Amino acid sequence: MKILNIANLYAGIGGNAKEWDRSKCKITAVELDPKIAEVYKKLYPEDTVIVGDAHEYLRKHFREFDFIWASPPCQSHTRLQLCNQHKSSLKYPDMSLYQEILWLQTFFRGKWVIENVKPYYKPLIQPTFVIGRHYFWSSDFIMIPGLLKTKSPKGFTDNNSLKKIKELEEWLGIYLEKPIYYGNNHSPCQVLRNCVHPEIGKYIFEKITGGKS
Ligand SMILES: C[S@@+](CC[C@H](N)C(=O)[O-])C[C@H]1O[C@@H](n2cnc3c(N)ncnc32)[C@H](O)[C@@H]1O
Protein backbone atom coordinates (compact mmCIF):
# COMPACT_ATOMS: atom_id res chain seq x y z
CA MET A 1 0.00 0.00 0.00
CA LYS A 2 1.34 3.41 -0.94
CA ILE A 3 1.73 5.79 1.99
CA LEU A 4 0.41 9.18 0.93
CA ASN A 5 2.46 12.24 1.64
CA ILE A 6 0.03 14.92 2.78
CA ALA A 7 0.28 18.63 3.54
CA ASN A 8 -2.29 20.06 5.94
CA LEU A 9 -1.81 23.81 5.52
CA TYR A 10 -3.22 26.45 7.90
CA ALA A 11 -3.71 23.45 10.16
CA GLY A 12 -5.41 25.09 13.16
CA ILE A 13 -6.30 22.37 15.66
CA GLY A 14 -6.88 19.96 12.79
CA GLY A 15 -10.64 19.47 12.68
CA ASN A 16 -10.39 18.55 9.00
CA ALA A 17 -7.62 16.00 9.66
CA LYS A 18 -8.84 14.43 12.90
CA GLU A 19 -10.23 11.31 11.22
CA TRP A 20 -7.63 10.88 8.47
CA ASP A 21 -6.23 7.36 8.60
CA ARG A 22 -2.64 7.84 9.79
CA SER A 23 -1.75 4.25 8.81
CA LYS A 24 -2.18 5.30 5.16
CA CYS A 25 -0.54 8.70 5.24
CA LYS A 26 2.27 10.84 6.52
CA ILE A 27 1.05 14.32 7.39
CA THR A 28 2.95 17.59 7.51
CA ALA A 29 0.90 20.31 9.20
CA VAL A 30 1.83 24.00 8.85
CA GLU A 31 0.43 26.52 11.34
CA LEU A 32 1.64 30.07 12.00
CA ASP A 33 0.52 30.43 15.62
CA PRO A 34 2.88 28.51 17.97
CA LYS A 35 0.19 28.07 20.65
CA ILE A 36 -2.22 26.52 18.17
CA ALA A 37 0.57 24.42 16.61
CA GLU A 38 1.40 23.06 20.06
CA VAL A 39 -2.21 21.96 20.60
CA TYR A 40 -2.23 20.34 17.13
CA LYS A 41 0.96 18.41 17.99
CA LYS A 42 -0.58 17.13 21.23
CA LEU A 43 -3.74 16.02 19.44
CA TYR A 44 -1.91 14.33 16.52
CA PRO A 45 1.55 13.31 17.78
CA GLU A 46 2.31 11.27 14.63
CA ASP A 47 2.12 14.33 12.37
CA THR A 48 5.08 16.57 11.60
CA VAL A 49 4.21 20.11 12.68
CA ILE A 50 5.91 23.16 11.19
CA VAL A 51 5.37 26.57 12.76
CA GLY A 52 5.52 28.92 9.81
CA ASP A 53 3.81 30.62 6.90
CA ALA A 54 1.71 28.10 4.95
CA HIS A 55 1.40 30.38 1.91
CA GLU A 56 5.15 30.45 1.35
CA TYR A 57 5.47 26.79 2.35
CA LEU A 58 2.98 25.84 -0.36
CA ARG A 59 4.89 27.76 -3.03
CA LYS A 60 8.19 26.12 -2.13
CA HIS A 61 7.12 22.57 -1.24
CA PHE A 62 3.95 21.66 -3.18
CA ARG A 63 5.81 19.20 -5.43
CA GLU A 64 6.67 17.00 -2.43
CA PHE A 65 3.05 15.96 -1.73
CA ASP A 66 0.39 13.60 -3.08
CA PHE A 67 -2.48 15.49 -1.46
CA ILE A 68 -2.68 19.06 -0.19
CA TRP A 69 -5.41 20.53 2.00
CA ALA A 70 -5.33 24.27 2.72
CA SER A 71 -7.69 26.24 4.97
CA PRO A 72 -6.52 29.86 4.68
CA PRO A 73 -8.01 32.28 7.23
CA CYS A 74 -11.58 33.29 6.49
CA GLN A 75 -11.85 36.52 8.50
CA SER A 76 -11.41 38.84 5.50
CA HIS A 77 -13.92 36.91 3.34
CA THR A 78 -16.73 36.08 5.75
CA ARG A 79 -20.14 37.70 5.60
CA LEU A 80 -19.44 38.96 9.14
CA GLN A 81 -17.31 41.61 7.41
CA LEU A 82 -20.57 43.29 6.49
CA CYS A 83 -21.09 44.00 10.19
CA ASN A 84 -17.61 45.61 10.33
CA GLN A 85 -18.14 48.06 7.52
CA HIS A 86 -18.08 51.13 9.76
CA LYS A 87 -15.00 50.02 11.69
CA SER A 88 -11.48 51.22 10.94
CA SER A 89 -10.36 47.58 11.21
CA LEU A 90 -12.26 46.69 8.00
CA LYS A 91 -9.87 44.70 5.78
CA TYR A 92 -9.46 43.98 2.07
CA PRO A 93 -10.31 40.37 1.19
CA ASP A 94 -7.06 38.43 1.36
CA MET A 95 -6.21 37.35 -2.18
CA SER A 96 -3.84 34.60 -1.07
CA LEU A 97 -6.93 32.37 -1.16
CA TYR A 98 -7.22 32.84 -4.93
CA GLN A 99 -3.44 32.77 -5.43
CA GLU A 100 -3.36 29.32 -3.90
CA ILE A 101 -6.32 28.03 -5.94
CA LEU A 102 -4.74 29.26 -9.19
CA TRP A 103 -1.36 27.88 -8.15
CA LEU A 104 -2.67 24.39 -7.44
CA GLN A 105 -4.99 24.34 -10.48
CA THR A 106 -2.10 25.23 -12.73
CA PHE A 107 1.04 23.64 -11.34
CA PHE A 108 0.12 20.82 -8.96
CA ARG A 109 -0.17 17.29 -10.37
CA GLY A 110 -1.60 15.71 -7.18
CA LYS A 111 -5.00 15.95 -5.49
CA TRP A 112 -5.95 19.02 -3.49
CA VAL A 113 -8.64 20.84 -1.54
CA ILE A 114 -8.83 24.49 -0.49
CA GLU A 115 -11.57 25.38 1.93
CA ASN A 116 -13.05 28.68 3.03
CA VAL A 117 -16.32 30.11 4.30
CA LYS A 118 -18.96 31.38 1.89
CA PRO A 119 -17.78 34.95 1.25
CA TYR A 120 -19.76 38.19 1.31
CA TYR A 121 -19.00 38.69 -2.42
CA LYS A 122 -19.49 36.51 -5.50
CA PRO A 123 -16.48 34.15 -5.43
CA LEU A 124 -13.84 35.12 -7.98
CA ILE A 125 -13.41 31.43 -8.83
CA GLN A 126 -16.45 29.17 -8.63
CA PRO A 127 -16.09 26.55 -5.88
CA THR A 128 -16.00 22.90 -6.95
CA PHE A 129 -18.51 21.86 -4.26
CA VAL A 130 -20.27 23.36 -1.28
CA ILE A 131 -21.00 21.90 2.16
CA GLY A 132 -22.99 23.92 4.67
CA ARG A 133 -21.19 27.18 5.40
CA HIS A 134 -18.03 26.20 3.47
CA TYR A 135 -16.90 26.48 -0.14
CA PHE A 136 -14.40 23.92 -1.44
CA TRP A 137 -12.14 24.35 -4.45
CA SER A 138 -10.59 21.05 -5.45
CA SER A 139 -8.89 18.87 -8.04
CA ASP A 140 -11.99 16.63 -7.82
CA PHE A 141 -15.73 17.16 -7.82
CA ILE A 142 -17.46 14.98 -5.25
CA MET A 143 -21.14 14.39 -4.55
CA ILE A 144 -22.10 15.28 -1.01
CA PRO A 145 -24.74 13.05 0.62
CA GLY A 146 -27.47 14.97 2.49
CA LEU A 147 -26.51 13.20 5.70
CA LEU A 148 -23.11 14.84 5.70
CA LYS A 149 -24.42 18.37 6.06
CA THR A 150 -23.19 18.24 9.65
CA LYS A 151 -25.12 21.14 11.05
CA SER A 152 -23.34 23.62 13.30
CA PRO A 153 -24.79 23.66 16.84
CA LYS A 154 -27.42 26.28 17.63
CA GLY A 155 -25.90 29.65 18.57
CA PHE A 156 -22.69 28.74 16.70
CA THR A 157 -21.41 32.33 16.69
CA ASP A 158 -22.31 33.04 20.35
CA ASN A 159 -19.22 33.70 22.34
CA ASN A 160 -17.27 32.81 25.32
CA SER A 161 -19.23 30.85 27.83
CA LEU A 162 -17.63 27.68 29.13
CA LYS A 163 -20.87 25.97 28.19
CA LYS A 164 -20.40 27.02 24.56
CA ILE A 165 -16.80 25.72 24.50
CA LYS A 166 -18.01 22.39 25.86
CA GLU A 167 -20.79 22.24 23.28
CA LEU A 168 -18.37 22.90 20.41
CA GLU A 169 -15.90 20.35 21.80
CA GLU A 170 -18.63 17.71 21.98
CA TRP A 171 -19.78 18.55 18.44
CA LEU A 172 -16.26 18.15 17.05
CA GLY A 173 -15.00 15.41 19.37
CA ILE A 174 -11.95 17.59 20.03
CA TYR A 175 -11.21 18.53 23.63
CA LEU A 176 -8.83 21.33 24.64
CA GLU A 177 -6.78 21.09 27.84
CA LYS A 178 -7.27 24.83 28.33
CA PRO A 179 -8.83 27.66 26.30
CA ILE A 180 -6.64 29.06 23.50
CA TYR A 181 -7.14 32.30 21.64
CA TYR A 182 -6.87 32.84 17.90
CA GLY A 183 -4.98 36.07 17.00
CA ASN A 184 -6.67 39.09 18.57
CA ASN A 185 -9.94 37.25 18.91
CA HIS A 186 -11.27 37.49 22.46
CA SER A 187 -13.36 34.36 22.22
CA PRO A 188 -11.88 31.02 23.29
CA CYS A 189 -14.56 29.47 21.03
CA GLN A 190 -12.90 30.76 17.84
CA VAL A 191 -10.28 28.00 17.41
CA LEU A 192 -13.10 25.47 17.67
CA ARG A 193 -15.36 27.41 15.31
CA ASN A 194 -12.45 27.54 12.82
CA CYS A 195 -12.58 23.75 12.46
CA VAL A 196 -13.94 21.88 9.51
CA HIS A 197 -16.11 19.17 11.07
CA PRO A 198 -14.02 15.96 11.28
CA GLU A 199 -16.72 13.92 9.50
CA ILE A 200 -16.59 16.32 6.54
CA GLY A 201 -12.78 16.22 6.48
CA LYS A 202 -12.86 12.43 6.55
CA TYR A 203 -15.47 12.08 3.83
CA ILE A 204 -13.66 14.43 1.44
CA PHE A 205 -10.27 12.91 2.21
CA GLU A 206 -11.45 9.35 1.56
CA LYS A 207 -13.34 10.24 -1.61
CA ILE A 208 -10.46 12.18 -3.11
CA THR A 209 -7.55 10.00 -2.08
CA GLY A 210 -9.40 6.83 -3.09
CA GLY A 211 -9.79 5.48 0.43
CA LYS A 212 -12.96 3.65 1.40
CA SER A 213 -16.23 5.45 0.55
C1 LIG B 1 -9.51 28.26 9.38
S2 LIG B 1 -8.25 27.86 10.51
C3 LIG B 1 -7.86 26.22 10.07
C4 LIG B 1 -8.88 25.23 10.46
C5 LIG B 1 -8.49 23.78 10.21
N6 LIG B 1 -8.44 23.48 8.80
C7 LIG B 1 -9.46 22.85 10.91
O8 LIG B 1 -10.30 22.21 10.23
O9 LIG B 1 -9.39 22.76 12.14
C10 LIG B 1 -6.90 28.76 9.85
C11 LIG B 1 -5.60 28.61 10.65
O12 LIG B 1 -4.56 29.21 9.88
C13 LIG B 1 -3.62 29.81 10.75
N14 LIG B 1 -2.88 30.78 9.94
C15 LIG B 1 -3.18 32.07 9.63
N16 LIG B 1 -2.28 32.58 8.77
C17 LIG B 1 -1.39 31.59 8.53
C18 LIG B 1 -0.23 31.48 7.72
N19 LIG B 1 0.19 32.51 6.97
N20 LIG B 1 0.44 30.31 7.71
C21 LIG B 1 0.04 29.25 8.47
N22 LIG B 1 -1.05 29.30 9.25
C23 LIG B 1 -1.76 30.44 9.28
C24 LIG B 1 -4.46 30.39 11.86
O25 LIG B 1 -3.69 30.55 13.05
C26 LIG B 1 -5.57 29.34 11.99
O27 LIG B 1 -5.26 28.42 13.00
- Shortest-distance atom of ligand 1 to CA 53: 20
Provide the pLDDT confidence category of residue 149 given band limits of 50, 70 and 90.
low
Residue 162 maps to a domain: no
Q: In what order do the strands lie in the sheet with 67-70?
A: 48-51, 25-31, 4-9, 67-70, 111-117, 134-138, 129-131
Return the best residue to mutate from 9, 18, 31, 43 for the ligand 1 pocket (most ligand atoms within 8 A of CB).
31
CA 129 / ligand 1 centre spacing (Å): 21
The whole domain housing 61 covers: 4-146+198-209
- Rounded CA-CA distance 84/87 in Å is 5
User: Is the pLDDT score of 159 beyond 70?
Assistant: no
Nearest residue (by CA) to ligand 1, atom 27, is 12
Mean pLDDT of 29-43: 98
Nearest residue (by CA) to ligand 1, atom 12, is 10
Residue 191 maps to a domain: no
Count of the separate structural domains present in the chain: 1
Residue 178 maps to a domain: no
Q: Which domain CATH number covers 97? A: 3.40.50.150
**pLDDT: which is higher, 47 or 213:** 47
Provide the pLDDT confidence category of residue 211 given band limits of 50, 70 and 90.
low
Residue 56 maps to a domain: yes
